[in-house]
Structure 1
Amino acid sequence: MPPLVDPVPGGNPGDLARAHALAHELSAQGVRGIVLAFVDTAGICRVKTVPWQGLQPAVAWGVGMSPVFDTFLANDSIVRTDVLGSPDGDLRLVPDLDRLVVLAGQPGWAWAPVDRVTQEGERHPGCSRTFLRRVVADAEDRHGITFKAGIEIEWTLGRAAAPADEFAPATSGPAYSAARQTELSDYTADLLAAFEKQEVAVAQLHPEYAPGQFELSTDALDPVAAADQSVLVRQTIRAVSQKYGLRASFAPAVAERGVGNGGHLHLSLWRRGVNLHAGGDARYGMTAAAESFIAGLLAHLPALTAVTAPSPASYLRLRPAQWAGVYTAWGRETRETGIRVVTGTTGHQSHEANLEVKPVDLAANPYLALGCVIAAGLDGLASAAPLPEEVTDDPGRLVPDEAVARGVRRLPTSLAHAVDEFREDEVLRTALGPVLADAVVAVREGETAAVAGLDEAGVAAAYRWKY
């Protein structure tokens, strides 16, 4: 795993020579331009591009971009905080050479995630990638804990020939059906070929539940690489879909009713090469540390939804009986609880066991989502928080008194409610720092105001093609 290091003015030792050599290798492969990508607070991937000759200067001094994007909304309106949202200032986008990839789905282009630094070369406090890197490094320094993470990618395919604001499912076959897989067999084969060329290890690719919906899962990586990969995978899916006359939506809901697109997070804790979710003395082979980490997640889950389900459209998806995990409960392989414990099959638990955070969708900035999930879990770990009793079957079936007694709460039913919970959560706000925390609140409040007065169909339409 590459070391987690911050970029510095002029590049870290060896970066400039490496960038020079890489640029010429890219040119020899037919690459003409490089996409420099980051994800803003609203969950939108924003980019700048440079020709291949611009890679070395970008590594040395970055590429300019305004800090105003920290307070952009999904509709490109701008909100403000005390320090963000003005027309003043500039930042530098610095590409990570360890993650640079030639895009198989976009001939002539390469791609790299960026860190955002100030013109003085300091870490920008609004850079979500830097935030996640710091959370991961702190976990190892303070607790000796490292992580493996994966982000499920669900998307819905519409026909590009349909009117621009409408959704016409690209498939007619039933959920998980061979018929649907066959309908888009060439498309999915080309996706797999593109990921293979980009060295993205795909674990599964299959038709999902909703009309036109598919899901892809990849092998687990360190959290920063997992977030990078989530962004890269979506870039690739968009490009290959377009070639087939298809339009890919990663929005939480493309329609006001039905199962939406999730972005479930899988996470496992490791210490000295040992998976803490297997081989322990606690329930289902978990260690005490793994249990306390889950307890921390449950305690902060209502506030976490402001980060993991950040769009008004997210709350069209976060409904009971849709396997979206809308309760502060956990269970082994229980898909209606907010946290699903995955033990793995017999003989494979030591590397397969993990936890799944379910109330997450792909409107979320993956760096913010993973960083806040880790911060919440570490809060439980640090206090040795006890894990409540497991909930089996559907938590929604609990009578109110029993739910209260067992600490089972319904998660926020609106983005405004989630923001209220987030405002009161000092652990998450402290982990993010005041600049990022205030940006989260301002952007979420801006999104809420942007759809005021719309019915559910209007909310779905407003975000259908934004992500």
Structure 2
Amino acid sequence: MRFEELQEQNDQLWEHVHSQVIGNGVRAVGLFYTENSGITRVKSIPVERLRGAARSGIGMSPVFDAFLFDDSITSSRYSGGPIGELRLVPDLSCLIPLEASPGWAMVPVERFRQDLKPHPLCHRQYVRRSYQRLCERGISSKMAFEIEWAISLDREDEFIPTTQAPAYSLDRLGELDSYVMDIYNALTAQQISVEQIHPEYAPGQFEISIEASDPIRAADLRVVVRHTIKLVSKKHGYRVSFAPLVTAGGVGNGGHLHVSFKDEAGPIFARAEEERFALNPKARSLLAGLLMELPALCAVGASSPASYLRLVPHRWAGAFQCWGLDNREAALRLVAETNLVSKEGANVEIKPFDLSSSPYLATGSICAVAGSYVDSKLEVGEPISVDPGSLSESERESLGVNELPHSLSEAVDMLSKSDVLRDSMGEELLEAFVAVKYGEILLTKEMTPEEIVSATRWRY
């Protein structure tokens, strides 16, 4: 979006937004964006300054594009150093007063240079561009992240689960019922529709699913939901982690991304009885393209050194480059149309992704891959109907099933070789992102798995 377009949109929305913030008692607004380390940065302003910020932005250094997850700083030809100034311009259409933090609202920004041109390293501009190109092909999309988190007693840097109740159990929900209800009430008051919230497998772990929306809003909501959960947790005396792992060797936190697409004929993953796998050619090409690009997509969707301690077989993390119908060990799980799942609800779940990633790079990259492959007539291989980790190496080879990258270094190398993602991200964003990832690889190179988990546990 051009600076003038966002400015005009904000002008048109101002009266509504002004009444919204006044009606909710908002005193200050946090303007946020997510950068290459996957951490969301913020500048806050008094509500009286919101109108001016919506027209001309507020200043912030571009150096954060070179921050690593530990706040150390690297550099590239396009990022790092003390020189320069950007303008953070809020998108008022996405402002949300925070029920969990009275007096506060938060709003995503898009970053612009002083000459009013979009900042090439702005992740929200990236997903906007990618989605616009997809829409120009006549394809729309809805996406939603599953958000998993682990709840600890707020005592030490170590993880101490708040409950020892069994996985998925009614007892675990009962022990934390008021906490879970406070999360639900806060999100509902913020006009965020919760579809499911429940205990998960790992000690102290829960998961929440929210309604699907367009790729930009899906990324915004992942940030807002996480922040809301952290606010509620703090009030209950808990500390929460969204990191890929909270204990080495344990089951991790996923950030699975559900995606669906629609063209003029309707939902693309709708059941097509007479077609191969009951999927139409576009659906098969989308699956084939996503599978082909998945090793590169891991770099943007599972973008922490800790991600690859989670991305292992037999953990429902999707460690193998394959697809399957409701196969939770396959990297791509097809949720097909059935008597109980509508054609609009049919979707693909991308399981390797976690919450260390920038949600904007994740959704934007999926849009880029979809746009490149939807009309390619590429055919997808056979679905896998068993746990691929239970197959021998020769059996997997005969089925064309490969393991996904074992490290962030491998994933970044695959990203650098992907024509689709190189072209969609552009030279500047790609180089700056890769510089941060290589910085994090170097930072953790000599660490044990336990040390990597400890270093990342409370960063996400």
Give the TM interval when normalised to the shorter protein: over 0.9
Moved over 4 A (4+): none
Name the SS for the 1:350 alignment partner: coil
Aligned partner (choices 144, 163, 186) of residue 171 of structure 1: 163
1:367 matched to 2:364: no
Provide closer, same or farther for how the CA distance between residues 31 and 388 of structure 1 changes in structure 2, counting only shifts above 3 A: same
- The answer as to whether partners of 1:324 and 1:336 remain within 8 angstroms in 2 is yes
* 1:57 pairs with 2:66: no
Letter aligned with residue 390 of structure 1: P
Letter of the structure 2 residue corresponding to residue 204 of structure 1 = Q
Tell me, yes or no, if structure 1 residue 108 matches structure 2 residue 103. yes
Residue number in structure 2 paired with 1:282 = 275
Q: Tell me if the contact between 1:74 and 1:466 (Cα under 8 Å) persists in the aligned partners.
A: yes
User: Conserved in 1, the CA contact under 8 Å of 2:134 and 2:370?
Assistant: no
Determine the C-alpha separation between the residues in 2 that align with 1:25 and 1:426: 44
Deviates more, 1:208-217 or 1:85-94: 85-94
Is 2:409 the counterpart of 1:416?
yes
Aligned-partner Cα distance in 2 for 1:241–1:343? 35
Q: Secondary structure at the match of 2:218?
A: helix
Q: Are the counterparts in 2 of residues 279 and 286 from structure 1 also a CA contact under 8 Å?
A: yes
3-state SS of 1:203 partner: strand
Measured after TM superposition, the shift of residue 206 of structure 1 is 0.2
The CA deviation at 1:9 is: 4.6
User: C-alpha distance in 1, partners of 2:2/2:159?
Assistant: 42
- Aligned-residue offset at 1:429: 1.2
Are 2:151 and 1:157 equivalent residues in the alignment? yes
Q: Does 2:250 correspond to 1:258? A: yes
Where 1:351 maps in the other structure, the secondary structure is: coil
| SS in structure 2 of the partner of residue 115 of structure 1 | strand
Structure 2 counterpart of 1:94, one-letter code? V
TM-score by length of 2: 0.97
Q: CA deviation at 1:273?
A: 6.8
Q: Which runs of 5+ in 2 are unaligned?
A: none
Alpha-carbon distance in structure 1 between the residues aligned to 2:390 and 2:165: 32
**Residue type at the aligned position of 1:235:** H
Q: Which residue of 2 aligns with 1:227?
A: 219
1:244 Cα shift? 0.1
Tell me what 2:303 maps to: 310
Contact map agreement 2:133 2:371 (CA 8 A) in 1: no
What per-residue deviation string (whole Å, max 9, x for no partner) do you get for residues 193-243 of structure 1? 101100100000000000010000011101111111111101100100000
Deviations 1:36-72 (A, max 9, x none): 1111111101100011011111111111111111111
Equivalent in the alignment of 2:426: 433
Equivalent residues of 1:95, 1:114 under 8 A apart: yes
| Equivalence map 1:48-447=2 (5 Å) | 48-141=43-136, 143-160=137-154, 162-163=155-156, 165-272=157-264, 274-280=266-272, 281-447=274-440
| Residue 87 (structure 1) shift | 1.2
Question: What's the CA shift for 1:431?
Answer: 0.9
In the TM superposition, residue 25 of structure 1 has moved relative to its aligned partner by 4.1
For 2:123, give the aligned amino acid: S
Query: Take 1:380 and 1:398, find their aligned partners in 2: how far apart are those partners?
Result: 29
- Could you tell me whether the CA contact under 8 Å between 1:277 and 1:285 is conserved in 2? no
Q: Secondary structure at the match of 2:3?
A: coil
Matching residue's letter, 2:259: L
Q: Which runs of 5+ in 1 are unaligned?
A: 1-5
User: What secondary structure does 1:328 align onto?
Assistant: strand
**TM-score between both structures, scaled by the size of structure 1:** 0.95
Amino acid at match of 2:349: E
TM-align CA RMSD: 1.5
- Measured after TM superposition, the shift of residue 381 of structure 1 is 2.0
Structure 1 residues 267-276 or 393-402, which shifts more? 393-402
Verify the 8 A CA contact 1:20 1:55 in the aligned structure 2.
no
The 8 Å contact of residues 11 and 55 in structure 2, kept in 1 or not, is answered as: yes
8 Å CA contact 1:10, 1:59 repeated in 2: no
Contact kept, 8 Å, 1:156 with 1:249, in 2: the verdict is yes
One-letter amino acid of the structure 2 residue matched with residue 444 of structure 1: K
Shift of 1:18: 3.4
CA distance in 2 between counterparts of 1:431 and 1:159 reads: 42
Equivalent-residue separation in structure 2 for 1:146 and 1:130 (angstroms): 17
